[in-house]
């Protein structure tokens, strides 16, 4: 046990001291009696919880196996980084971006949390994504053209992901974007110090290089009608995002210096700078509110605003100057309020800590009551009160009212779509597009939708929508019935594909009836794939196999409150190759063999043996000689990954 590990945590074992799982006191008796069960090892593939927690459906376990060197590249001369990149983009074409900004629900779900600490999945993803950009890797090109044309409306994460997967299938894809650049919320909703623009441009450029066409500065509904799209294209995917922020539901928010967080960030990311506001209050508590408050701290305020700079945006406080311009700026006081206590805010802990370090004043367990205005109608303060949360409903505490004096009030409490100017038929009445499973728009042929316009959530969720919708569109275009999606709807490891890429395909079936398949060359014997329906729990693992290994943590460039103004450099320091590989080695490979040899070593009958080296592939490392196996279960007991389950033999 390492010195920095909590001494209260001990290595997990399957059995308590003095106990065992057998009714026999003697292991020898267990072995002699075990053959009455008629059960032998079967190899059952299940989805690991990291992947089950990933909204984009990444094969995380797969590319961590590549990082640690277990899964070797199938092509001679290919680096492990390229092989891992190709595995990543099977589900998500933005590894460098998501490795930086995704709040990593995969790490929350990691079974390694039960041993010591989660695997640094985001760090490995960022490392591989950055390596791919530095080495100018390309995305796989389509193998053949289908002759079909598909319109993607919106160039954000959902739209670009769908465009990539649709193009990869051989479809002609055109992306329509209202802005002058692609990227959506990755560009216009997240500051550049979190998603560096050169990195974002590189990842978008790879998608365009596959043959995706982009038509910028084009708004569907006003510039091109929906009817025209239906006439020109075989299918339409709507990914227009949630571009309208929600106003605070309190009196006075109609003041000219009150705005939404989406409005603020869009203005900032298009190059506008706030004017003379010295005190900004942000109401929210999620990642967007953190971004708003942090951006406000970095921008500061200008001490003098020229007339030309404030028109026509004077009521909103924007100027046309570039953020990095030469205007003298001073510190702005940014206050962030949350209904929940600070420690229970929706925002990621890391983002919250950075905001505090940079000088943002965060107030928890408070709710807005009323906007305080001056005689001209402008907001000069926000009346608040302390509150308690009953579920998602705030309950005010009587007699706790107070006022935060301010120059600008920003609401970052939620978003909705903008379905005006010709898009009204898509509106479900709540500012969103209603879809069926598979992301087909309800009651509208040819139309599909995904991303925030369906359900505002994470960027990686939008990417997952785009991937799944592309599969649904492919089914629709071939005239097949759209079937129910699998229970565990992720990009699943496919053993047949793994064997095929290594030229280990099973032989054709000769349709001769026989007993069992243990010695047949046409079948993948004693293997069962339950990944589409089951996520493996840590309780199915032999966690005692894993010792305490400290997690590699990405360093961060911290900026204190005195130095934050004008600092828009990236904060995260990427992993080195050694760190990325070390995190790959920490992966417990839940639900998939990781070639530890435990079953081979501990089998008392030598019934379990390694597959000949030239015939090995991921998931096919060992086999069982059923003429020797007596069903003692020892191999299943000592399997760290839960890959072995006792079942019928032949």
The per-residue pLDDT for range 462-509, each reduced to its tens digit, is 999 999 999 999 999 998 888 889 888 889 888 888 888 888 877 676
> Rounded CA gap, 536 and 530, in Å?
10
Rounded to an integer, the average pLDDT of 339-366 is: 83
149-244+417-477 CATH, one of 3.40.1280.10, 3.40.50.150, 3.30.70.100, 3.50.50.60: 3.50.50.60
The owner of tokens 């019928």 is 648
The yes/no answer on whether domain 245-413 falls in CATH 3.30.479.30 is: no
Domain ranges of the chain: 27-135+493-648, 149-244+417-477, 245-413
Q: Is the pLDDT of residue 38 over 90?
A: no
Question: What is the per-residue pLDDT across 552-597, written as a single tens digit (0 to 9) for each?
Answer: 999 888 777 667 666 677 888 999 999 999 999 999 999 999 999 9
Mean pLDDT over 603-621 rounds to 90
- Say if CB 389 and CB 339 are below 8 A apart: yes
pLDDT in tens, 284-297: 876 655 555 655 55
113-122, 520-529, 609-618: least confident range:
520-529
CB-count exposure of residue 556 (10 Å: 0-12, 13-18, 19+) = middle
**Residue entry with tokens 């950055």:** 130
**Which helix (H) or strand (E) is 351 found in, with range?**
helix 349-357
Q: Is the pLDDT of residue 314 over 60?
A: no
Q: Do 245-413 and 149-244+417-477 have the same topology in CATH?
A: yes
Cα–Cα distances in angstroms (integers) from residue 603 to residues 271, 539, 617, in the given order: 66, 22, 22
The residue among 554, 552, 192, 114 whose CA lies nearest residue 350 is 554
How far is C-alpha 54 from the chain's CA centre? 5
Distance CA 286, CA 413 (A): 8
């Amino acid at each position: 046990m390492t010195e920095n590990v909590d001494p209260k945590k001990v290595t997990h074992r399957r059995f308590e001291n003095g106990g065992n799982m057998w009714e026999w006191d003697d292991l020898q008796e267990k072995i002699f009696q075990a053959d009455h069960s008629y059960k032998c090892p079967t190899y059952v593939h299940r989805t690991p919880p990291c992947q089950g927690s990933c909204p984009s459906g990444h094969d995380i376990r797969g590319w961590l196996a590549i990082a640690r060197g277990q899964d070797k590249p199938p092509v001679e001369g290919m680096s492990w980084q390229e092989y891992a990149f190709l595995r990543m983009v099977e589900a998500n074409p933005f590894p460098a971006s998501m490795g930086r900004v995704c709040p990593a629900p995969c790490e929350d779900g990691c079974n390694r949390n039960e041993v010591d600490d989660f695997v640094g999945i985001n760090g490995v993803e960022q490392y591989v994504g950055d390596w791919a950009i530095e080495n100018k890797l390309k995305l796989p090109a389509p193998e053949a053209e289908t002759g079909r044309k598909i319109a993607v409306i919106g160039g954000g994460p959902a739209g670009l992901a769908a465009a990539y997967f649709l193009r990869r299938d051989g479809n002609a894809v055109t992306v329509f974007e209202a802005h002058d650049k692609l990227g959506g919320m990755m560009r216009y909703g997240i500051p550049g110090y979190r998603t560096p623009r050169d990195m974002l441009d590189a990842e978008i450029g790879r998608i365009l290089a596959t043959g995706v066409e982009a038509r910028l500065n084009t708004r569907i509904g006003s510039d091109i009608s929906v009817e025209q799209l239906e006439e020109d294209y075989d299918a339409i995917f709507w990914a227009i995002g949630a571009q309208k922020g929600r106003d605070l539901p309190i009196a006075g928010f109609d003041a000219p210096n009150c705005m939404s967080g989406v409005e603020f960030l869009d203005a900032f990311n298009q190059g506008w700078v706030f004017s003379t506001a010295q005190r900004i209050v942000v109401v929210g508590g999620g990642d967007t509110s953190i971004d708003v408050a942090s951006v406000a701290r970095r921008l500061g305020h200008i001490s003098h605003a020229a007339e030309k700079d404030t028109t026509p945006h004077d009521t909103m406080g924007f100027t046309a100057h570039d953020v990095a311009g030469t205007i003298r700026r001073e510190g702005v006081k940014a206050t962030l309020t949350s209904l929940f206590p600070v420690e229970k805010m929706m925002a990621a802990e890391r983002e919250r800590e950075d905001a505090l370090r940079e000088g943002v004043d965060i107030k928890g367990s408070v709710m807005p009551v009323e906007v305080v205005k001056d005689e001209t109608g402008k907001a000069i303060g926000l009346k608040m009160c302390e509150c308690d949360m009953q579920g998602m409903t705030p309950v005010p505490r009587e007699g706790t009212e107070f006022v935060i004096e301010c120059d600008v009030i920003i609401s970052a409490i939620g978003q909705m779509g903008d379905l005006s100017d010709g898009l009204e038929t898509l509106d479900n009445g709540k500012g969103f597009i209603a879809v069926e499973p598979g992301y087909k728009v309800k009651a509208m042929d040819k139309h599909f939708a995904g991303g925030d316009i369906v359900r505002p959530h994470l960027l990686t969720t939008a990417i997952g929508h785009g991937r799944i919708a592309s599969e649904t569109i492919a089914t629709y275009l071939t005239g097949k019935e759209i079937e129910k999606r699998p229970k565990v709807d992720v990009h699943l490891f496919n053993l047949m594909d793994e064997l095929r890429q290594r030229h280990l395909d099973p032989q054709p079936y000769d349709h001769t009836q026989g007993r069992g398949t243990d010695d047949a060359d046409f079948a993948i014997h004693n293997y069962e794939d339950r990944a589409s329906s089951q996520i493996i729990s840590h309780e199915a693992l032999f966690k005692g196999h894993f010792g305490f290994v400290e997690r590699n943590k990405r360093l961060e460039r911290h900026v204190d409150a005195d130095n934050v103004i004008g600092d828009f450099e990236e904060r995260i320091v990427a992993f080195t190759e050694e760190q990325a590989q070390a995190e790959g080695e920490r992966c417990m490979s839940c639900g998939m063999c990781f070639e530890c040899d435990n079953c081979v070593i501990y089998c008392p009958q030598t019934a379990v043996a390694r597959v000949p080296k030239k015939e090995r592939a991921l998931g096919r490392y060992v086999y069982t000689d059923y003429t020797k196996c007596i069903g003692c279960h020892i191999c299943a007991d000592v399997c760290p990954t839960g890959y072995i389950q006792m079942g019928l033999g032949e």
